[in-house]
Structure formats: structure tokens, C-alpha cells
Amino acid sequence: MSQITYPARPGAARASLRPFLLRMHFYIGLFVGPFIFVAALTGLLYVLTPQIEAWLYRETLFTDSTGPARSLAEQALAAQEALGDDLAVSAVRPATEAGTTTRIMFSDSSLGESENRTLFVDPATLEIRGDLTTYGTSGILPFRIALDYLHRSMMLGNLGRYYSELAASWLWVAVLGGVALWATGPRRRRALPDMPAPQRCRWLHATIGVALSVVLLFISVTGLTWSQQGGARFQALQDRLGWTTPSASAALAGPAVTPSPHGDHGEHMPDPAVREDRLDQLDAVARAARAGGIDSPMMEIRLPKPGQAWIVREYDRSWPTQVDTVAIHPDTMAITSRADFASFTLVPKLIRWGIDTHMGVLFGLPNQIGMALVAVGLMVMIVYGYRMWWTRRPVAAEPLSDTWRRLPAGQRVLWLAVAVAVGWVLPVLGVSLAVFAAIDRLRSRRALA
């Protein structure tokens, strides 16, 4: 067996960190780049579509009828009668302004997690304007639900979520490594138009990456908070450090509503008579919530389970953020518990703002445009990276293991410890790193054969 001689490169003859970072950056781009590209593309589609969704469902979301609004109880009963007794009302979102519809939400076991069957009611005429599935606190409709699932899991369920977690887990590593390579690399003194094509490609790849580095780090971190494995680690850290988001408790000191014969289970609602009595309380609960400081037009009233309080929350995540929550006693209409955003500690506020910025909702249209530009820039940077690889692909490249062995012993111990620690915090990154090392080992053996 004879060892292949690789083309000489500046700095490759001596043990240094740069060759190792360069090879690691290449592996991330080659193997994880497609996943990051897909996440950027689907995120771009999601962030640009609120206006498209409003147009698609305009007949459902808006109404031309005039006149005073009927009571919330009448609106909820109209929706309940339209469906019959198959499903029970779980929450009500009153119309936010004149010309918009009220959302009457029903729990449906046939739908996915955080999904509701929602009837859209004209507040003035009680006409049912639509019957759609809505999702999450944002209340997105089927068009954007599909885009959300596409971005999060490629519509492959929980297994598919590992694709987005892989992208988020490696994005911050690729960004930091790229910035380090840019900072330690040679300076290009030629003007952009005078550069040879390969050099221009490298310059554009590096410049876009450095320019977007801070935002890309932010997107990576906020994306990881939603992930399955890394997100669970983050949630455990929040709990341990007391960074959890405060919430209003629905618990009461004593039973306030007669329990149903089925007991207090999430899948069972009270019998129709008790349910109708609860719907009759909707307007009183809304008035109590308004008197208690719930002043956003974006208000959701959640019906209580037996022996619990009503929960009324704001869901306006734009700026300024309005996400206060109160619990209201069903007998006295007194507020029994509350969680006001103004009283949140700094970390829960930053988490809330970070997630909403990631979704493009915190600052409205400027936030949408900014996130869209970042997504486009990320995709362009990945394309330039693949172009660099494609033009140089016939050249035999040095295995990662060789650059690793040339590092000083102290650096190898340090980076190994960092890899183990990060791999434990982000298991998907740790497993994929082991796969990279295995592929590199096989390649190195083939080179020596």
C-alpha cells in the first residue's frame, strides 16, 4: 500500500487549526447543506404567505354585513347547532374588528396535535362563513399549516422533524467555522469584477456568510428550541434555571361546576346541558377579562373543564407584545390567577420575542421582509458553496482525520471535549458527527489501499 500525496496548500504542512476547520466546514456543507437549503426554502415560503392566506380565505375571514354584533353565546350556539352534538366547543376567538368573523373552535380527536376544527361565524348575522382546520396559537389556516409542516418535518411526522433539527444543529457550527476561516484567510486585494471566477465565487460565499452570521446564529438557536432532542434539553435547562414562562392556573380551591359522569378527563366534555350553560357564560367571562386587563382585540376564551376556571388569553405576538392570561372563576367571575407579560423575567421575554422574530410576526411586514432576505441569502450562499466544490471535485482532498492528527495534543483534547459536550446537548449533531467521522475513516482507508 502507498499513501496518496495530496496537493500542497498554504499552511497544510504544519499542524494548525485552519486546515481542520476548513475540512470540517466542507463536510458540513456537503452533507448538511441540502437540509439547510430545504429549511431555508420552506421557511421563506412560510414567512411570505400571511397575506396570501388572508386572500385565499377572504370569504371566510371577512364579512360585509353590518349591524350590531350578536352575543358571543349566540355565536357559539349557532356554530354548535351547525355541527350538532358530535363535538364540543373548546375555545372562542371573538372578531377582532368590524368586518371580521368570530372563530368558534372545537376539539376533534381526528385532528393532529394543536389542531382545532374551527367554524367562522358572522357576528351580525350568525351565518357560518367557513369550516376549517386551524393550528396553534397563531391560528394559521390549512394553506400555511401545510407550509409549516413542510418546514418542520417535510410532512413526514415526528421522524421528519429530524431533518430540520439536523439543519438547525449544524447551522451555527457552519457559521462560526466560516467566520473563523474568513478571519484567518488571505485577504483578496482585487476588485470583484477583476477576480477570476473561482475566486469571485469564494469571495461571494464568504461575504454573504459573514454579513448574515449574527442573524443565522439567531435562527439556528431559536429553531433548536422547537426541536425534538435538542429542544427537550433546552426545556430541561429552562426548568432547572427557573426560566420557564409563567402561566395562569385553571385550578380552583373547590369544585365550581358539577363534574360529568365520565370524570375529569381531557377527552370528555360535560353533557349538553352543562355545555350550553357554559356557553351562556361567554359574554360575562369576556367582560370580566376586559375589566381584569385583557385589552387586546386578539383574545381567546377557553372553556373550562369541570371543577376548573375559564382561561382567557391574548395572542397578539406583534410589537408591542400582548400575551397576558387570566383565569376566571365560573361562579363569581373573579380572577383567580394571572400571568402578565410585563411581569415576565428577561429570559422568557427574550424567548417569546426570539420565536416570534423567527416566524416573521414580531415587527410585521419589516420582519417578514428581513427573514425572507436572510433565507434567500442563505440559499445563495449554499449554492456558491456547492459550485466551489463542483469546480474542485477532481482534486484529491485531505481526509479530516489527517488534519486532526496534525493538531497539537492539547487542541485535540479540547476539541474532543467540546464535541462530546455539544453532542450530548444536541444529540442529532452528535450522531451525525459520528457518521461524518465514520465516512472520513472509510475514505482515509481507501486512500491508503
Render each residue's pLDDT in the chain as its tens digit; 449 residues: 334 444 444 444 344 788 899 999 999 999 999 999 999 999 999 999 999 999 999 999 999 999 999 999 999 999 999 998 789 999 999 999 999 999 999 999 999 999 999 999 999 999 999 999 999 999 999 999 999 999 999 999 999 999 999 999 999 999 999 999 999 887 765 666 667 888 888 899 999 999 999 999 999 999 999 999 999 999 999 899 988 999 999 999 744 433 333 333 333 344 444 455 689 999 999 999 999 999 999 999 999 998 999 999 999 999 999 999 999 999 999 999 999 999 999 999 999 999 999 999 999 999 999 999 999 999 999 999 999 988 876 555 678 888 888 899 999 999 999 999 999 999 999 999 999 989 888 877 776 66
The pLDDT of residue 200: 86
Domain membership of residue 111 (yes or no) is yes
For residue 46 the three cell numbers come to 412560510
The amino acid that residue 54 corresponds to is A
342 DSSP assignment: G
Cα–Cα dist 102/93, whole Å: 6
The amino acid that residue 260 corresponds to is S
Cα–Cα dist 388/374, whole Å: 21
Do 335 and 256 have their domain in common? yes
Do 332 and 404 have their domain in common? no
Domain membership of residue 215 (yes or no) is no
Do 251 and 337 have their domain in common? yes
Q: Are 274 and 258 in contact (CB under 8 A)?
A: yes
The pLDDT of residue 448: 66
The pLDDT of residue 308: 95
Domain-ending residue, one of 140, 155, 173? 140
Q: Are 3 and 448 in contact (CB under 8 A)?
A: yes
For residue 395 the three cell numbers come to 482534486
Q: Cα 397 to the chain's mean position, in Å?
A: 37
Residue of 310, 308, 305, 252 lying closest to 286 (CA atoms): 310
Domain membership of residue 310 (yes or no) is yes
The residue range of the domain holding 124 is: 58-140
Which H or E run includes 323? none
For residue 39 the three cell numbers come to 429549511
Domain membership of residue 334 (yes or no) is yes
Q: Considering its fold, how many domains does the chain have in total?
A: 3
Residue of 23, 4, 8 lying closest to 389 (CA atoms): 23
Cα–Cα dist 335/90, whole Å: 20
Domain membership of residue 445 (yes or no) is yes
The pLDDT of residue 262: 35
Do 258 and 326 have their domain in common? yes
Residue of 382, 355, 376, 438 lying closest to 167 (CA atoms): 382
Cα–Cα dist 176/217, whole Å: 8
Cα–Cα dist 197/173, whole Å: 27
The pLDDT of residue 188: 63
Domain-ending residue, one of 140, 159, 185? 140
Residue of 389, 374, 421, 375 lying closest to 28 (CA atoms): 389
Cα–Cα dist 272/275, whole Å: 5
Domain membership of residue 261 (yes or no) is yes
Domain membership of residue 132 (yes or no) is yes
* Total length of the chain: 449
Domain membership of residue 165 (yes or no) is no
